[in-house]
Structure 1
Amino acid sequence: MKFVASKLPQHLGQSGWVQMLPPRTPRASLNGTVNVDVVVIGGGFAGLSAARRLSQLDPKLKVAVLEAGEIAEGATGRNSGFIIDLPHEVSSEDYGGGETDERRHDIKVHRMAIALARDLAVEKGWGKDIFDPCGKYNVALGPQGDKHVVSYAKELDKVNEAYRLFDAKEIAAVTGTTSFTSAIFTPGTVIIQPAAYIRGLADSFSGPVRLFENTPALSFERQGSSWCVKTPNGAVNAGKMILANNGQAQNFGIFRGVLLHVYTYASMTEAFDPSLMGGERSWAATPAFPMGTTVRRVKGEEGDRFLIRSRYTYNPTMRVSEGAIERAGRVHDRKFEARFPMLKGVRMQYRWAGAMALTWNGVPAFGEIEPGLFAAIACNGVGATKATASGIAAAEAALGIDSWLVQVFKGFSAPKRLPPQPFLTIGATANLSMKEWSAGLE
C-alpha cells in the first residue's frame, strides 16, 4: 500500500524561543537517493529522540531523519519547555484516578525521558539557559486553585514524592507578585529552552545518522522487504521506518478518525528591566486549575521576559488562522496584566500557535502498524516528556528490543474511534470552552 501526503505542515506566528536565538544554518535537504537501515519521519522531540536512541543502541546503524521544515520551527520549538516527571495538571481527578502503582509506573516513564535529555545536556555542556533541573511550581489564583494544590499534595503523599507547599507570601517571594494565593513546588521537572534544546539535539548527529531539513516526506510505500520514502528531490530506502510526525501522520491516511487536533497559544513579552519587579529571575509555573495559564519568567542578557500560555482550540483541518492567534493574544494580555500589574507598559513581542495530537482515551498511537513501520504518535499534551519517551520506545521496538519501556507502550489500549462529524467538532469545541470558562483567571 502506498501512503501519500494530502498536505504539508503549516506553522503560523513567530515563536519567541526561536527568535531569541542566533540564526542557524539548516542541514541540507535531501537530493538524490540514500539507503539506510532506519528512516525517521519528523525532527521533533519524538523523531530526534528516536534517532539518538538508535545511535546509542548501534553506533554503526545508518539512520536518516527527514524534517519537513527547519528544526525548531514546528511544534517542538513552540513548546513551553517543561520536561516533567509528575503529571502536568494539579488535580486529584487527573492524577489519582488510577491505582498508586499505575502512577509510579507513569513517573518512571517520564523520568526515562528526562534521563535522555540530561545525558544530552551533559554531553553538550549546556548551562541553565538551555537545560535547568530547577523543578516547577503549580500556582493558584484563588480558592479553586488552592483546593487543587492541597488535593495534589495528598496524592503525592500516596506515592512518596517530594514537594513543598507555599503560602501566598512565600510564592510572592519567588514570583515577585502578590497575585498568587498558594503553590506547590515539585523538584523533578527540568525546564528547557525548547528551540535551543531541539537544535542542539539535531546538531549532535554525525556519521551514520544524517538529518535532512526542508525535506518533507511526500509518500512512502513498502517495496519488497524495505520502505521507500519519496521527497521533493530524492528518496530514502530503509529496512525500518519510524513515523514520528504526530498529527501529520493523519495526512498520510494513518490513524484517520482517532486523532484530535488541538492548538494551544502562547505569547512572549519584550525584554524588560528586571529591576521593575522582585522575585527570582528564572522560574516556571503550570496552573493549579486544569486548562489554566502556564507562566515562565526567562532570564536573558538583554533583560527578562515572560511567557504566557493559555487558550485551546479544536482544529480538525490542522490549520490555524492569524485571527485565532490575535484572539488568544488578547486573552494572554488580560492574564498577564492581572498577574503582573507592576509591568504595565511591557508589551508582547511574539505570539504563536502550536499543534497537539490527542486521542479520545488519552493513549498514544504507538506500535508496528505495518511490517517494519513503527509509529510514535499522539503525545496527548506534555509533548517534551511523552513524545521523548515514545521516540525512545519506538527506536527500541524497531530494533527488536523488548524493553520495559516498549512493554509499557505496547500495553496501552488502542486509540478509540472519534464520534462522527459534526458531533465531534461541536462536542470538542464545547468541551474546551467549558473547561476554559471554569478555569477563569487561573
Structure 2
Amino acid sequence: MSPAAAFTAKGLPKPSPGVCGWVALLPPRAATQPLEGTATADVTVIGAGFAGLSAARRLRELEPALSIVVLEAGVVGEGPAGRNSGFIIDLPHEVSSEDYGGDSLRKSRDHVTLQRRAVDFAKDLAAERGLGREVLDPRGRYNLALTAEGDRHLSDYAAQLDRLGEAHAMLDAAQVAGVTGSTAFTSGIYMPGTVIVQPAAYVRALADSLAAPARLHENTPVTAIERAGSGWRVRAPKGSVESPRVVLANNGHAERFGLFRGRLLHVHTYASMTEPFDPARLGGDRAWAATPASPMGTTLRRVTGPDGDRLLVRARYTRGPGLDVGEGTLRRAGALHDAKFAHRFPMLSGVGMQYRWGGAMALTRNAVPAFGEVEDGIFAACGCNGLGASNATASGLAAAEMLAGVETPLTRLYRGFAGPAAFPPRPLTLIGARATLAFRAWKAGIE
C-alpha cells in the first residue's frame, strides 16, 4: 500500500439517462437529510447500493454498537442499484466449460457459494422486514433460447450443472410457451435458487433496515477522502465525517478517486418497460423472469401490478470514453428493445414502452472483484462484473466481515481472488471493448 494522503474525486456521479420504471412505479422517496457540518463514526460507507448497504447491515449484525455513517450521492434506489434487472442469482450465467479437473470445478463451486450467500442475505432481510413477493420473490429463474445454437448452449450448461450437482429442469418449446405465453422460444432451463427483486424497492428496504447508531445521508456526494491522524476524513459539499475505517462501495466511481486506475471497464446497459396491458392478452404465468442463453442476449421479466401486467426487456451494452452516456444512446437501445419485444410477443402488438433507462456497471479484465484493503483502513467492494445484485451484495458482506475481523467462508473466497488486471492503454481498451461488445452482440443475434 502506498502512504497516500488524499484521494480527490475527479468528477461527481451524474444521473444515468432515462426514467427507470422500477423507481417510477414506487411512491416518491422521502430522502434523508444531506450531511452537514462535521461528524465522527467508527466506519464510513461510501455508496448506498447493494454493496454499501449490505456492508452496513452486516456490520450492524456483527457489532451492534458500531457507529456507521452511509453517504449516498443521490437518492437510495435511483442510482445504478435501482436500475438493475433484479436477479439475485445463485448460479452463474456461465459455468466453466473447461475440462472439469479439480480447479475448474472448484472455481464454479466457489462462485455458487458466493452468490448463494447473497441470496440468503436477501431472504433474511425479506423475512425480517416482512417484504412481500412484489419486492422479493423466491420463484427462481429461466434461461431461454430462441435458436439451435442457443439450444446447444443450454444443453451444455445443463450438463455442467449436472457435474456441479445443482438442481435444474430442462424445458422444451411447448413447456416454455406454457410459462411465457410465447411460441418464439425453442428451449429453456429452470433453476429454482434465484430470488427476483424489485430492485429500487429492495434497496430502499435495505436502507430502511439500518438502525441507530447507523445513519444514512442521501444527496451527499463524496468529494475527497483525506488522512486525518490515524484515520480518514471523508469530505462532502457541506460536511465531513472522520472515522478510522472506510468502506468504498461506489463501484466504477472508485476510479474517479484514483483507485483501480486502468483496471475497471465502464459499461452501460439498457432496459425498457412496457405500459400496463390486460393480462388476458398474454398466456402463461403472470410473473416470471428469464436470462438469455447467450450472455449478450435479452433479459425478460413479466411483472404484475394493480393496473395490469408489464414486460421488461433488457438488452444492449455500450462502452464510452467516460462513465456517462447520453439520451441518443438510450434511443438506439430502445429501438433494439422494440424489435426484440415485437419478435417475442407479437400478440401484444400496440403495447408501447412507457419507461426506458440506462444503468452503469464496472467490469474487470480478469472477472474478479475490485476488492480489498486498498489503503490502511479503506476497504473497497467494487467491480460487480455484470452481476450487480449478487456480486455487489457478496462483496459488501465480505468487506464488512474482513473489517470486523471475522473469518467466514466468504472472506476465505475473497482472500483467494487475484487483484484486477490492468487493461491496455485507454485508446486500445476503448477500441477493443467496443469491438468485443459489437462482436458478442452480433454472435448473440436474436437471442
Q: Give the shorter-chain TM-score range.
A: over 0.9
Match of 2:62 among 45, 57, 60: 57
Shift in CA distance, 139/8, structure 1 to aligned 2, threshold 3 Å: same
Shift of 1:77: 0.5
Partner of 1:147: 152
CA deviation map 1:335-381 (0-9, x unaligned): 00000000000000111111010011111111111110110010101
Cα pair 2:95 2:108 within 8 Å, conserved: no
* Identity, % of aligned positions: 57
- 1:289-304, aligned counterparts within 5 Å? 289-304=294-309
1:161 partner SS: coil
CA deviation map 1:26-54 (0-9, x unaligned): 11111111110000000000000000000
Shift in CA distance, 318/135, structure 1 to aligned 2, threshold 3 Å: same
2:426 partner SS: coil
Shift of 1:98: 5.4
> Structure 1 counterpart of 2:125, which letter?
L
Cα pair 1:90 1:290 within 8 Å, conserved: no
1:276 equivalent to 2:281? Answer: yes
CA deviation map 1:124-150 (0-9, x unaligned): 111111111100000000101100111
1:20 equivalent to 2:35? Answer: no
Gaps of 5+ in 1: none
Partner of 1:186: 191
CA deviation map 1:60-81 (0-9, x unaligned): 1000000000001111000000
1:298 partner SS: strand
Shift in CA distance, 281/93, structure 1 to aligned 2, threshold 3 Å: farther
- 1:12-91, aligned counterparts within 5 Å? 12-89=17-94
Partner of 1:364: 369
CA deviation map 1:257-315 (0-9, x unaligned): 10000101111001111111111000000001220000000011110000000100012
Shift of 1:88: 2.0
Partner of 2:13: 9
> Structure 2 counterpart of 1:411, which letter?
G
Partner of 1:310: 315
Cα pair 2:370 2:383 within 8 Å, conserved: yes
Scaled by the length of structure 2, the TM-score of the pair is: 0.97
The CA distance in 2 between the partners of 1:377 and 1:209, in whole Å, is 22
- 1:35-434, aligned counterparts within 5 Å? 35-89=40-94, 92=97, 99-434=104-439
> Structure 2 counterpart of 1:249, which letter?
A
Tell me the number of residue pairs that the alignment of Structure 1 and Structure 2 aligns: 442
The CA distance in 2 between the partners of 1:174 and 1:92, in whole Å, is 28
Gaps of 5+ in 2: none
Shift of 1:90: 7.0
Deviates more, 1:403-412 or 1:54-63: 403-412
The CA distance in 2 between the partners of 1:334 and 1:89, in whole Å, is 26
Cα pair 2:95 2:160 within 8 Å, conserved: no
Q: Moved runs in structure 1, 4+ residues, more than 4 A? A: 93-98
> Structure 2 counterpart of 1:23, which letter?
P
Cα pair 1:356 1:379 within 8 Å, conserved: yes
> Structure 2 counterpart of 1:14, which letter?
V
The CA distance in 2 between the partners of 1:181 and 1:90, in whole Å, is 21
The CA distance in 2 between the partners of 1:275 and 1:97, in whole Å, is 50
TM-align CA RMSD? 1.5
Shift in CA distance, 91/311, structure 1 to aligned 2, threshold 3 Å: farther
> Structure 2 counterpart of 1:300, which letter?
G
Shift of 1:95: 10
Cα pair 2:42 2:66 within 8 Å, conserved: yes
The CA distance in 2 between the partners of 1:46 and 1:290, in whole Å, is 23
The CA distance in 2 between the partners of 1:398 and 1:246, in whole Å, is 18
Shift of 1:401: 2.0
Cα pair 1:90 1:287 within 8 Å, conserved: no
Shift of 1:97: 11
The CA distance in 1 between the partners of 2:100 and 2:276, in whole Å, is 36
The CA distance in 2 between the partners of 1:400 and 1:415, in whole Å, is 23
CA deviation map 1:224-260 (0-9, x unaligned): 1111011111110111000000000111111111000
1:151 partner SS: helix
> Structure 2 counterpart of 1:255, which letter?
F
Scaled by the length of structure 1, the TM-score of the pair is: 0.98
Shift of 1:96: 10
